[in-house]
Amino acid sequence: MNSSPAALLFWISVVICAVAELAIVAATARASRRSASPASAQLLDLPKVDDPRPLPRPRRWLELVYVVTPAVALVLLFVFTWRALPPAR
């Protein structure tokens, strides 16, 4: 394993980005679950609207695709960065 300062900085950034991505995925999953419940309007104290047209339902799969796609791109970026680091001496 490479123990250079560059490798240490690389692994710190990997951990920070992984924690951030997991938080984003968890928040997206919670928000889409909450928006599907009928009590969410009362919970959020949303104003009454006289428009008879209902709001479109959020597409949970599409939201998760928008969240997972950058995570996969970030993993690929980390893999190529790790390969580009100079070997340990």
Residue ranges of alpha helices (H) inside 1-89 are: 5-36, 40-44, 60-84
Average pLDDT, the chain: 79
- The whole-number pLDDT of residue 47 equals 67
Which residue did the predictor score with more confidence, 76 or 31?
Answer: 76
- The whole-number pLDDT of residue 32 equals 63
Residue 81 corresponds to which amino acid? T
pTM: 0.62
Q: Which domain does 67 fall in, by range?
A: 1-38+58-89
Q: What's the structural domain count of the chain?
A: 1
Asked whether 67 and 24 are in contact (CB, 8 A), the reply is yes
Q: How far apart are alpha carbons 44 and 38 in whole angstroms? A: 11
Which residue did the predictor score with more confidence, 25 or 37?
Answer: 25
Residue 35 has pLDDT above 60, yes or no: no
Asked whether 25 and 68 are in contact (CB, 8 A), the reply is yes
Q: Which two tokens stand for residue 40?
A: 């969410």
Residue 78 corresponds to which amino acid? F
27 assigned to some structural domain: yes
